[in-house]
Amino acid sequence: MKITDVEIHVLLAPNMDPSQTSSAQDDLVVIIHTDEGVSGIGETDVNPWMAKAALTAPGTHTMGLCIKDLLIGADPFDIAGIWDRMYKGTAMNGRRGLVVHAMGAVDMALWDLKGKALGKPVWELLGGVGQDKVYPYASLLPAGNSYEEYREALLQNALTAKELGFKAMKLEVIMNGPYAHGGMRESYDRHTEVVAAIRSAVGPEPTLMVDVGYLWPDAKSCLDVVRDWKEFDLFFLETPVWSDDTEELAKVAEAAPMKIAVGEWLATRYEFKELMDLGKVQVAQPDVGRVGGLSEAKIVCDMAAERGVTIVPHCWKTAISISATAHLAFNTPHCAFIEYLPRQLCFETLRRELADEDLVFEDGALSLPSKPGLGVELNEEALRSYTVA
């Protein structure tokens, strides 16, 4: 079997609003075709125009090759070899960041393709069952451009998630800092008020996590606030300070009354090694696309196991990434939760329409999927409708 074509789609939701803190409004979808008629689908969470350029830009020398050219004619089952050739063949332009994020969509598609060709689900190809139930948390990013609207929308989302049967939920409490929703500039006290209100409303049973979107400039500012959050019994606090500042991150991780979770933006095992060894985080959050694909995510999960670090993958795209993340989690016994985006609580067009995942949610858990590959059903009409490049 040989790769004959790499189809690359830049997608944009018609209601895209650049003031919103949600990267689910655009997408980069890769479909890999073969001479035997088997294809695989992948996506990644990065600016799709930039990712397409990273995959298709003509090569100019041996350290800056064209990824698409590297793929044509290759054996799609040689996933590790392809990853190595993409990584080393683009090293002068890549090594981290954008190019690796784009590679992640290719790698995801290759695993999907291999599973379909062999008639096996991806979790089996990754090494088998690490756990037969995976617990998703409802990821709650509310609409609203004022404190009152945001607080009420998040509260209602949390109550709805509980009614839907979720045993865990993450609150996106991002009302200040570099990525404040709708440009809000609310006080730290108001962040505390929101978390307190939702814990009171949902009661003690649901597991709560909070993402503050790199809110604080340093560890001291963070700890001055979150030391008082112990009463909310949070499973983790996500991205409290800048993830590259491992010194400040370690100070937070060592003194905060809850686990610290980071990793959504990181690429490759090398960045995660720094995060875990220097940043001292207790929860690592590889994004299957951004980290470099399922291949690299699997390596990061193994590294975390060696260090006693819990895995809770980041996932903020469509059913394609949700399914890939779930297959990784079923293979990873130390994966406590996965980020999940229930349709009833999601307002992003691409998330709602682009694809359906083969995942059964019951009693707060996902059951082991059985369809070959990632089990994703792509909506071809939506793909055509929202492709802009």
Assigned domain for 389 exists: no
- Tell me: do 113 and 129 sit in the same domain: no
- Tell me: do 171 and 62 sit in the same domain: no
Enumerate residue ranges in the chain where pLDDT < 70.
none
Assigned domain for 188 exists: yes
Last residue of a domain, one of 78, 93, 119: 119
CATH label of the domain that carries residue 11: 3.30.390.10
SS (HEC) of the chain: CCEEEEEEEEEECCCCCCCCCCHHHEEEEEEEEECCCCEEEEEECCCHHHHHHHHHCCCCECCECCHHHHHCCCCCCCHHHHHHHHHHHCCCCCCCHHHHHHHHHHHHHHHHHHHHHHCCEHHHHCCCCCCCEECEEEEECCCCCCHHHHHHHHHHHHHHHHHCCCCEEEEECCCCCCCCHHHCCCCHHHHHHHHHHHHHHHCCCCEEEEECCCCCCCHHHHHHHHHHHHHHCEEEEECCCCCCCHHHHHHHHHHCCCEEEECCCCCHHHHHHHHHHCCCCCEECCECCCCCCHHHHHHHHHHHHHHCCEECCECCCCHHHHHHHHHHHHCCCCECCEEECCHHHCCCHHHHHCEECCCCEECCEEECCCCCECCCEECHHHHHHHECC
pLDDT of the residue at 17? 86
Assigned domain for 156 exists: yes
pLDDT of the residue at 257? 99
- Tell me: do 322 and 192 sit in the same domain: yes
Assigned domain for 284 exists: yes
pLDDT of the residue at 351? 92
Assigned domain for 345 exists: yes
- Tell me: do 241 and 346 sit in the same domain: yes
Last residue of a domain, one of 119, 141, 175: 119
- Tell me: do 61 and 142 sit in the same domain: no
CATH label of the domain that carries residue 202: 3.20.20.120
pLDDT of the residue at 20? 79
- Tell me: do 200 and 311 sit in the same domain: yes
Assigned domain for 107 exists: yes
Last residue of a domain, one of 66, 90, 119: 119
Print the domain residue range for 30: 3-119
- Tell me: do 186 and 59 sit in the same domain: no
Assigned domain for 106 exists: yes
- Tell me: do 369 and 243 sit in the same domain: yes
Give the total number of structural domains in the chain.
Answer: 2
What would the pLDDT profile of 175-210 be if each residue is shown by its tens digit?
Answer: 999 999 888 999 999 999 999 999 999 999 999 999
pLDDT of the residue at 125? 99
What would the pLDDT profile of 12-56 be if each residue is shown by its tens digit?
Answer: 999 888 877 789 999 999 999 999 999 999 999 999 999 999 999
- Tell me: do 193 and 342 sit in the same domain: yes
pTM: 0.97
- Tell me: do 160 and 211 sit in the same domain: yes
Assigned domain for 308 exists: yes
- Tell me: do 91 and 229 sit in the same domain: no
pLDDT of the residue at 358? 82
pLDDT of the residue at 342? 78
- Tell me: do 70 and 194 sit in the same domain: no
